[in-house]
Chains A and B, each alone.
Chain A
Amino acid sequence: MRLHYIGRKVGWALLTLVFILTANFFLFRVMPGDPVALLARSQRLSPEALQHQRELFGLDQPLPLQYLTYLKQTLRGDLGVSIISGDTVWSMVASRLWPTVLLVGLGTALAAMIGVAAGIRGGWNRGSTFDRGGLYSALVLYATPEGWLGMLLLIMFAGMLGWFPAGGYSTSSGSGATDVANHLVLPVLTLALGYVGQFMIVMRSSLLDVKDEDYITTARAKGLPDPLVRRRHAVPNAFLPSFTLIVLSFGFVLGGAIVVETVFSWPGIGLLTYQAIKDQDFPVLQAVFLLSSTAVIVANLLADVTYGFLDPRVQDV
Chain B
Amino acid sequence: MRGAARAACVLSAAALVALTVGLAPAAQADSSSPAPSGSSAAKVLRIGMTTGIDNPNIWALNSATEFEAVTLQYDMLMKFSDKDLTAAPGLATGCDHNADRTVWTCKIRSGVKWSDGVPLTSKDIAFTYRFVIAKQFGYFSGYFTEGTTFETPDDTTLIWKSPTPTNGPMVPAWVYIAPEHIWGKYMNADVKDITSAKVVPVVSSGPYTMTGATPGQNWTFTRNPNFWGDRPAYDNIVFQLYTNQEAMVQALKNGQIDVADGLEGNLLPAVKALPNVAIQKVVSDFWVNMAFNFGGRAGKPLPALQDIRVRKAIEMAIDKQKIVDTVYPGAASPGETIIRPLSVFWHLDIPDDKVVKYDPAAANALLDQAGYTRGADGVRVDPKTGQPLKIRMPVSDDTAGSTPVGQLVAGFLKAVGITVVVQPVTAGKMYDLQQAGDFDAYIWYWSGDPDPNYQLSVFASSACPDLSDGCWKDPKYDAMFAQQQTTLDPVARQKIVKDMQQYVYDQIPGIVLAYPNALEAYRTDRVAGLTSTPEKDGYLMPSYTYTSLVTAHPATATSAETSSTGLPAWAWIVGIAALAGIVVAVFRRGGRSGDEQD
Contact = CB atoms under 8 A, between A and B. Distances in A.
Contacts of B562: 171
A52 B429 contact: no
A21 to B, nearest CB: 22
Interface in B425-458: 425-432, 435, 444-449, 454
Given A173-B35, A224-B597, A158 B247 contact: yes
A204 interface: no
24 contacts: A38-B428, A44-B454, A49-B136, A50-B138, A81-B192, A85-B62, A87-B195, A95-B216, A102-B26, A109-B12, A109-B15, A109-B19, A168-B241, A169-B217, A170-B217, A174-B34, A176-B24, A224-B597, A232-B598, A235-B2, A243-B4, A243-B8, A262-B243, A271-B243
B535 to A, nearest CB: 24
* Interface size range on A against B: 35 or more
Q: Which 6 A-B pairs have the closest CB atoms?
A: A33-B428, A182-B566, A86-B195, A173-B212, A267-B216, A49-B138
B592 to A, nearest CB: 12
A159 B425 CA distance: 34
A221 to B, nearest CB: 16
B5 interface: yes
B137 to A, nearest CB: 8
Contacts of A32: 425-426, 428-429, 432
Interface string B538-577: 0000000000000000000000001001111100100000
B116 interface: no
B242 A265 contact: yes
A96 B569 contact: no
A44 B139 contact: yes
Contacts of B145: none
A290 interface: no
B167 interface: no
A248 B526 CA distance: 48
B110 to A, nearest CB: 34
B61 interface: yes
Contact of B246 (A155, A178, A268): A155
A227 B44 CA distance: 58
* Interface size range on B against A: 35 or more
Interface in A15-65: 31-35, 37-50, 52-53, 56
A162 B566 CA distance: 8
Contacts of B142: 44, 46, 49
A8 to B, nearest CB: 22
Interface stretch (A68-76, A110-118, A121-129, A132-140): A110-118
B240 to A, nearest CB: 6
A13 interface: no
B276 interface: no
A154 B247 contact: yes
A317 B402 CA distance: 56
A84 B243 contact: no
B428 A310 contact: no
Interface of A: 31-35, 37-50, 52-53, 56, 81-82, 84-88, 91-92, 95-96, 98-99, 101-102, 105-106, 108-110, 112-113, 116, 151, 154-155, 158-159, 162-185, 224-225, 227-228, 231-232, 235-237, 239-240, 242-243, 246, 250, 261-265, 267-268, 271-272, 275, 280, 306, 310-311
Contacts, number: 324
Interface stretch (B52-60, B310-318, B498-506, B509-517): B52-60
Contacts of A82: 54-55
B118 to A, nearest CB: 25
A165 B13 contact: no
A41 B196 CA distance: 23
A174 B54 contact: no
A32 B429 CA distance: 5
A179 B217 CA distance: 14
Contacts of B425: 32
B60 A87 contact: yes
Contacts of B27: 170, 174-177, 179-180
B223 to A, nearest CB: 15
Contacts of B63: 42
Contacts of A108: 12, 15
Contacts of A31: 428
B26 A40 contact: no
Given A33-B431, A44-B139, A86-B195, A106 B446 contact: no
B139 A168 contact: no
A180 B25 CA distance: 11
Interface stretch (B249-257, B365-373, B374-382, B471-479): B249-257
Given A169-B214, A178-B572, A239-B4, A37 B30 contact: no
Contacts of A271: 216, 243
A267 B246 contact: no
| Best-surrounded residue of A39, A47, A171 (most CB of chain B within 10 A) | A171
| Best-surrounded residue of A174, A224, A231 (most CB of chain B within 10 A) | A174
Contacts of B215: 92, 95-96, 267
Contacts of A49: 136, 138, 141-142
Interface in B1-22: 1-5, 8-9, 11-13, 15-16, 19-20, 22
| Best-surrounded residue of B220, B247, B569, B572 (most CB of chain A within 10 A) | B247
B219 interface: yes
A87 B8 contact: no
Given A167-B251, A174-B30, A262-B244, A102 B217 contact: no
Contacts of A52: 136, 138
A38 to B, nearest CB: 6
Given A44-B139, A109-B12, A168 B594 contact: no
B496 interface: no
A180 B566 CA distance: 10
Given A33-B429, A45-B138, A174-B30, A86 B9 contact: no
A168 B50 CA distance: 12
Contact of A43 (B22, B37, B62, B247): B62
B590 interface: yes
Contacts of B3: 236, 310
Given A96-B216, A166-B248, A267-B215, A178 B569 contact: yes
Nearest to A113: B12
B241 A267 contact: yes
A44 B455 CA distance: 9
Contacts of B24: 176-177
A246 B429 contact: no
Given A38-B427, A173-B218, A236-B1, A106 B241 contact: no
Given A87-B60, A113-B13, A173-B213, A264 B590 contact: no
Nearest to B448: A44
Nearest to B462: A47
A118 to B, nearest CB: 13
Given A45-B139, A174-B35, A33 B251 contact: no
A166 B447 contact: no
Contacts of A182: 565-567
Contact of A46 (B138, B220, B594): B138
Contacts of A96: 215-216
A264 B248 CA distance: 10
B38 interface: yes
A34 B214 contact: no
